[in-house]
Structure 1
């Protein structure tokens, strides 16, 4: 993680130096951005044999961008970001037969770490206000599930309950490394350099490798700030 952050910082410094060298002859500008993610996972339908409840999970994104004007009010903005996605989940499994039964409940947080490449087409409604839309390409770097398991067993008149905490790396062989989504958003520049940004990205591809189950997709709402070197 430290190496990744240092790499993004180096890239930001490189873009700043590139901007200084090219600003007199090129309209292209470079910048850095960072902010918060509120992410969740969605599935194609709810045909599960157990109850699953999902909530938004907090994460962050950070990286660099280049803004390339292509017309008077249009520009293309490719970005290179580190982005944390995933979800908070509660899964509940139950089985009962006669006087015997059990319930397993998992309350955990799934964090998926991606390097993402959004390519946004931006339209300036006002000189300082823009809207945007475009594809986002992602590469899964790592993942982790962390939470608690509660197991309750009923046998006749006897009831026993156990609790256990866990923290595990996700089995990468089960996950698709490539992720694809579509983003829409907006931004407002308070100054020539500093902007507030907001974007929603809806996942298109399944985060898991092909299987007979339902497709599970990443979705994320992002808010943050961007600083453009001028």
Structure 2
């Protein structure tokens, strides 16, 4: 039993020292999977920790601010702005020394919602407070510290609550491209 505890302590301490912390930020191009919707530009930014679990594999949890939403393709130019605190947990494979591929779940918590429209009034309580999606992406580090990232997050849950007898069917879809900086 002592050997097992000692072994776990050694593994835990080596993972603690092997972690890499960093920051990332960039452009979101988001839309809602619904008829009459166009993409809208937004911003994302936050921090991450990269934890190696094997030679070519790592887990990278992140905490990001995500500006999402969509523009509606109608004559009134309605716009939906959704701000989330997102927590993606990406499983990364290092295909090359500086290139990684990633996939994993993203858990998002609604911070703010605004619907700007001429003919429609939408209450911020009409949007769900939680959003779930699956992300696929890649990244390339030019130096040990600076890299570019790209990710697509496909929404799994609808963004709006049922209001009366009406349920707006639409899921967040976000393409992200940005820069990452690792503290080493």
TM range (shorter): 0.7 to 0.9
Quote the offset at 1:215 in angstroms. Answer: 2.4
* Native 8 Å contact 2:160 2:168 kept in 1: no
**Partner of 1:174 in structure 2?**
126
The alignment status of 1:199 with 2:151, answered yes or no, reads yes
| Residues 68-124 of structure 1: per-residue CA shift (max 9 Å, x gap) | 000000000000000000001134xxxxxxxxxxxxx42122110000000000000
For 1:212 and 1:55, how far apart are their aligned partners in 2? 22
Structure with bigger gyration radius: 1
- The one of 116, 136, 144 aligned to 1:146: 116
**Partner of 1:90 in structure 2?**
73
For 2:144 and 2:160, how far apart are their aligned partners in 1? 42
- The one of 181, 198, 217 aligned to 2:171: 217
The alignment status of 1:71 with 2:25, answered yes or no, reads no
Residue pairs, 1:91-130, within 5 angstroms: 91=74, 105-130=75-100
* Matched pairs, number: 170
Quote the offset at 1:147 in angstroms. Answer: 5.0
| Residues 10-42 of structure 1: per-residue CA shift (max 9 Å, x gap) | xxxxxxxxxxxx99x710010000000000000
Where structure 2 has 5 or more consecutive residues not aligned to the other structure, the ranges are 1-12
**Partner of 1:131 in structure 2?**
101
| Cα root mean square deviation, aligned | 2.2
Q: What SS does structure 2 have at the residue aligned with 1:134?
A: strand
| Residues 174-213 of structure 1: per-residue CA shift (max 9 Å, x gap) | 1110000000000000000001000000000111124653
* Native 8 Å contact 2:150 2:175 kept in 1: yes
Q: What SS does structure 1 have at the residue aligned with 2:171?
A: strand
For 1:26 and 1:126, how far apart are their aligned partners in 2? 23
The alignment status of 1:208 with 2:164, answered yes or no, reads no
Where structure 1 has 5 or more consecutive residues not aligned to the other structure, the ranges are 1-21, 44-51, 92-104, 150-165
The alignment status of 1:32 with 2:18, answered yes or no, reads no
* Native 8 Å contact 2:48 2:62 kept in 1: yes
TM-score (norm 2): 0.85
Q: What SS does structure 2 have at the residue aligned with 1:126?
A: coil
